């Protein structure tokens, strides 16, 4: 797989090259066919050139940079049936819990598989629960596309219990996470983490109430990560005028008692 980055979205300021905004990108799955872009057509023969080559559309002469698609290029193009958790939030889950290549994770709901895939990339194993077969099918497609081998998918409700034991991290992206807080406490090792992601504060309140009633769990914090984009073109430096969107709240909980 290859990525074509539209070169005109780059600007030269004081002799240096900058990407202006999000450089428009085309993801090329089939390198045996010409690629039609809104700026013109890239010939299939050019797609065989080395990563970093500058290609010109054969009809309009517009320039694109060709690179080999990386894991993250493919990840950003996963099929999203239910809404996925954004990278800014995934980053905090990884940073705060310290999970690594030896960690075992339980996740629910699987949804499109975005969180499960991101966690599986850096941990030993992820087991993810999902009740909807259509969501499960999309997630499985995404898992296969990225060739991820260490995810086990279970078509079960996490509200009915968690089969796994001695787990290092449990992640929830569920409509009613409070219904599974006790199950997470049973599944986790002492010192392990439970992180719940919810778009609305009433969900967070009910989840925290359930956590506080369980003496095995210690409420650590609820946070919202706000990502603000900036435009930097030479000395013209300012926040982007597009608004800051809301994604969700992350609640961090630790298992402190067997
Ligand atoms: C917002 S999506 C999760 C998105 C996922 N974190 C991702 O990044 O792609 C919520 C999912 O939870 C699933 N779900 C709802 N209740 C569930 C339950 N009791 N057990 C397991 N999955 C459940 C839904 O079907 C839905 O697919």
Q: Ligand 1 pocket, 85 CB below 6 A?
A: yes
Task: Report yes or no: 137 and 162 within 8 Å, Cβ to Cβ.
Answer: no
Q: What's the CATH number where 32 sits?
A: 3.10.330.20
Mutate-to-test residue for ligand 1 from 79, 107, 110, 139, highest number of ligand atoms within 8 A of CB: 110
The verdict on 197 and 110 lying in the same domain is yes
The verdict on 60 and 85 lying in the same domain is no
The verdict on 45 and 122 lying in the same domain is no
**Among 14, 40, 69, residue at a domain's last position:** 69
Residue 12 pLDDT grade (very low, low, confident, very high; cuts 50, 70, 90): low
Q: Is the peptide bond before 109 cis (omega within 30 degrees of 0)?
A: yes
Interval 204-232: pLDDT, tens: 999 999 999 999 999 999 999 999 888 88
Q: How far is the CA of 64 from the centre of ligand 1 (A)?
A: 38
Q: Going by C-beta distance under 8 Å and a sequence separation of 6 or more, which residues neighbour residue 27?
A: 1, 2, 3, 69, 73, 77
Domain count, the chain: 2
Mean per-residue pLDDT for 227-242? 84
Residue 77 pLDDT grade (very low, low, confident, very high; cuts 50, 70, 90): confident
Ligand 1 atom at shortest distance from the alpha carbon of 158:
20
Interval 28-73: pLDDT, tens: 888 899 998 888 899 999 999 999 899 999 988 888 889 888 899 8
The verdict on 65 and 80 lying in the same domain is no
- The span from the CA of 83 to the CA of 245, in Å, is 14
The per-residue pLDDT for 69 is 86
The per-residue pLDDT for 9 is 55
Mean per-residue pLDDT for 90-116? 98
Range of the domain at 38: 2-69
Q: How far is the CA of 31 from the centre of ligand 1 (A)?
A: 35
Mean per-residue pLDDT for 141-145? 95
The verdict on 142 and 115 lying in the same domain is yes
Mean per-residue pLDDT for 171-193? 98
Distances (CA, A) of 225 to 87, 88, 204, 241, 244: 11, 7, 15, 19, 11
């Amino acid at each position: 797989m290859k990525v074509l980055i539209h070169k005109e979205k780059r600007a030269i300021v004081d002799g240096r090259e900058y990407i202006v905004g999000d450089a428009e990108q085309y993801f090329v799955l089939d390198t045996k066919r010409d690629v039609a872009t809104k700026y013109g057509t890239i010939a299939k023969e050019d797609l065989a050139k080395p990563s970093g080559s500058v290609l010109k559309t054969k009809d309009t002469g517009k320039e694109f940079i060709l690179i080999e698609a990386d894991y993250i290029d493919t990840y950003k193009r996963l099929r999203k049936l239910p809404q996925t958790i954004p990278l800014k939030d995934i980053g905090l889950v990884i940073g705060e819990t310290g999970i690594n290549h030896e960690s075992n994770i339980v996740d629910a709901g699987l949804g499109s598989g975005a969180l499960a895939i991101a966690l599986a990339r850096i941990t030993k194993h992820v087991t993810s629960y999902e009740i909807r077969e259509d969501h499960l099918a999309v997630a499985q497609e995404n898992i296969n596309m990225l060739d991820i081998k260490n995810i086990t998918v279970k078509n079960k409700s996490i509200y009915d219990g968690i089969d796994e034991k001695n787990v290092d991290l449990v992640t929830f992206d569920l409509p009613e996470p409070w219904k599974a807080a006790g199950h997470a406490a049973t599944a986790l090792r002492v010192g392990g983490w439970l992180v719940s992601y919810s778009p609305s504060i009433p969900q967070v309140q009910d989840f925290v109430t359930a956590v506080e009633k369980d003496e095995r769990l210690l409420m650590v914090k609820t946070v919202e990560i706000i990502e603000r984009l900036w435009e930097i073109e030479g000395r013209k430096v300012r926040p982007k005028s597009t608004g800051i969107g809301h994604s969700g709240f992350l609640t961090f909980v630790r298992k402190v008692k067997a």
